[in-house]
Amino acid sequence: MTVETQQASNFNPGFLPLFCLLSVLLFYVWRRRPRLFPPGPKGLPVVGVIPFLYRDPPRMLRDWSKKYGSVMAVRMGRNEVIVLSGYKTIQEAFVTKSDAFSGRPYSLVMHKIFHKNLGLSFLDYNQTWKGQRQFGIRALKGVGIGRKSIESRIMEEMEYYVEWLVKMEGKPINLRTFLTSAVANVIANIMFGRRFEYNSEELQKIVDIFEESFSLGSTGALFYMTMFESSLRFVPPFRGAYLKISANLDYMRDFIRRHISTHVESFDKNDYRDFCDAFYAEMTKEGNQSNGDFHMEQLVHVIQDLLVAGFETTTSTLLWGVLCLLHHEDSKSKIFNEIKNVIGEGGFPQLRHRLSMPYTMAFIEEINRFRAVVPITPSHKTTREVEIDGYVIPKNTEVIGNLWSVQHDPEIWHNPEQFIPERHLTSDGKFASSDKILAFSLGPRRCPGEDIAKAELFLFLVSLLQKFTLHADPNSKSPPSVHNGCHGSAFVPSPFEIIVNQRR
């Protein structure tokens, strides 16, 4: 008797009904949801709906919400994730009931890579997070971080950026790399009180890390999926993305530690130069009961979080703006006319000029509506059982908000798929900001660097159009469409090159 025959003869047919029963029970448990829990798609066993979200997550979630409602449950891997759509529902959860929706869920992947108990972005909703956020907002608004204002730090970098563009006149350039360098220097100036030359190896390594991890290619998108199903980190190609981003963030933290170390050696408690000094002063302040929350590794991770949040969002929003300018010649003319009339061709753009440049502000507002680079909020978590729209959400349930569903809602915006800056102007030509623009999220988890990002968008964009004309490279393909982009950790435009010429 062969081995195969012997094994077959040892099979007990009585186990077959038991196996079928267990399979049915497991399938029932997988399908079953609590009473009054929202409906929604379950997808496939183990991975849930993850395979269906690879190409265009916000649009797919919006389409599902049309069937299941503004509060729906979506199976991400083995976890149920509540997806909120529409302004009324998102505002109710993250603002009106913010105490119940502002937690951060535990993710094994995020815990391993970002160190969940450190920094600011991934801390849970508790007193430590509240203290760290309050300090961060105060510092980022310029209180106690030196004599230089945030505006002056951005304007200082603009001079270097314009100088570099002059050298590149007439040549096809990939604006992303150098915009990322400029934005990185603004953050470095705020954090460490210093900047790096654009051709420095240290800066270029950091820029490469961000482009590889969060901007282009599939790495960011694949890693994003592992956040919802941690077992994917063992499966190619997700494993490669997980290991790459893990190594990149380790390098970034070492980079931050080096600069903190040299910075602290010259610390003067009577002269704060930047965020690093303000944080270190808080660490060493006598009689401060919250000193235990302020320590060196916390500083490293706070700076890491601010770098990750500030680099990609601002750079990609500026790139979307440039791409929209290439497709809308009339917008270039209108913005330049405001520059001539308000600032002059030889003046220096300042934030106060925003009040007198309504079309420019409307253009930036429309970029944030039309192409928000973070169309879905980072994951929240319920801190208690809570009711919303007639559904009961248990404590410790993961929740995300589909901000894209608000900014492309035809009931709020006429022709939402079209880029129309004029929609943000009143009948008498004044700029009208909207609370339905959620590019920086809303509620307690709203982006703490919002004011800095808005200042950068205005000053960089105006400086670019004041000094240069922008053209698509005639020797390459037409600029990519403004209606498509790359979905990863952020929504970014496809790569393109431009030619800049000085205005004379």
Domain boundaries, the chain: 34-502
* 3-state DSSP assignment of residue 82: strand
**CB neighbour list of residue 329: distance below 8 Å, 6 or more residues apart:** none
30-34, 157-161, 232-236: least confidently modelled range? 30-34
Euclidean distance between CA atoms 73 and 80, whole angstroms = 6
Cis peptide before 237 (omega within 30 of 0): yes
Q: Are 421 and 358 in contact (CB under 8 A)?
A: no
- Residue 28 pLDDT class (50, 70, 90 cuts): very low
CATH of domain 34-502: 1.10.630.10
352-374 as b/e: b if 16+ CB within 10 A: ebbeebbbbbbbbbbbbbbbbbb
- Residue 228 pLDDT class (50, 70, 90 cuts): confident
Euclidean distance between CA atoms 356 and 482, whole angstroms = 28
Higher model confidence: residue 96 or residue 346? 96
Instruction: State both tokens at 1.
Output: 């008797």
Phi, psi for 158 (deg, rounded to 5) = -60, -35
Phi, psi for 100 (deg, rounded to 5) = -95, -15
Q: What is the pLDDT of residue 399?
A: 98
- In tens, the pLDDT along 198-217 reads 999 999 998 888 887 776 66
Residue-level length of the chain: 504
- In tens, the pLDDT along 283-341 reads 888 766 566 889 999 999 999 998 888 888 999 999 999 999 999 999 999 999 999 99
Question: Count of CB atoms within 10 A of residue 309's CB?
Answer: 19
Q: Which amino acid is at 464?
A: L
